[in-house]
Chain A
Amino acid sequence: AQSVTQLDSQVPVFEEAPVELRCNYSSSVSVYLFWYVQYPNQGLQLLLKYLSGSTLVKGINGFEAEFNKSQTSFHLRKPSVHISDTAEYFCAVSRQGGKLIFGQGTELSVKP
């Protein structure tokens, strides 16, 4: 069975500062990895995904994530955040096209 742990429930950060949202996963088989963003009272929007190949994945809105197989991690980063990045971020895994297993979410709060 797969599981996902997001290590921080809340991350406050000042505008234009860098941010890292941490995600660890466990699985006995190969998985696909995803980061989704959710704005208040909305559905989830895909930020980026790792399927195979290069371990550094670039997504929308300036976000990137690095897959680390030995650490079983998939941390999300952005070098300079904006107020508009304030949202809930979810890390998720799936077994090659199956259901998504989500972490508990990290609330990113960007302050001016």
Chain B
Amino acid sequence: EAEVAQSPRYKITEKSQAVAFWCDPISGHATLYWYRQILGQGPELLVQFQDESVVDDSQLPKDRFSAERLKGVDSTLKIQPAELGDSAMYLCASSPRKGRTSGTGEQYFGPGTRLTVT
């Protein structure tokens, strides 16, 4: 069964350092999402891609966070510089293009990257 891949699974970094996370969605999925989940809370959307275009980055702290999906396949989320408050689980999800197979909003999640900033 196809899965969303994420790496690394765990990352410890010092504040003010740069950190990057990688996500490879399920093959053929046009939409890719990055969520941040703070301990004890539900995930919150950081950025949504449709193919290689950003369609929603309203909650992305753009002074320190950046995201790209250059070829419309895999994606990288970067934080520079990292702050203590960035400690969280970063989840990637993907979904098929609307109107195909299941344009139902069902999203398939990867295992996440747990970031600890010290």
Q: Contact residues of A with B, CB < 8 Å? A: 4, 32, 34, 36, 41-46, 49, 51, 90, 92, 94-100, 102-105
Bound form: Cα–Cα A99–B107 in Å: 9
On B, residues with C-beta under 8 Å from A are 4, 6, 33, 35, 40-45, 48, 56, 91, 93, 95, 98, 103-112, 114
Say whether A97 contacts B109, CB under 8 Å.
Answer: no
With most chain B CB atoms within 10 A of its CB, the pick from A34, A44, A51, A104 is: A44
Contact A104 B112 (CB under 8 A): no
CA distance A98 to B48 in the complex (A): 9
User: B42 contacts A103, CB within 8 Å?
Assistant: yes
Q: Say yes or no: B112 contacts A43, CB within 8 Å.
A: yes
> Do B40 and A94 touch (CB < 8 A)?
no
Contact, CB under 8 Å: B106 / A102: no
Q: What residues of B have a CB within 8 angstroms of the CB of A4 in the complex?
A: 42
Contact pick for A43, options B91, B95, B104, CB 8 Å: B91
CA distance A57 to B93 in the complex (A): 23
**Knowing A41-B114, A45-B109 touch, does A97 contact B56 (C-beta < 8 A)?**
no
With A43-B4, A43-B110, A43-B111 in contact, is A100–B40 under 8 Å at CB? no
Report the separation of the CA atoms of residues A96 and B43 in the bound assembly, to the nearest whole angstrom.
19
A36 to B109, CA, bound (A): 10
Q: How close is A45's CB to chain B, nearest CB, in angstroms?
A: 7
Closest residue to A96 on the B side, CB-wise?
Answer: B105
Is the beta-carbon distance between B44 and A42 smaller than 8 angstroms?
A: no
Q: How far is the CB of A7 from chain B (nearest CB, A)?
A: 14
Contact A34 B41 (CB under 8 A): no
Residues of B within 8 A of A97 (CB): 95, 98, 103-105
Chain B contacts of A45 at CB under 8 A? 109
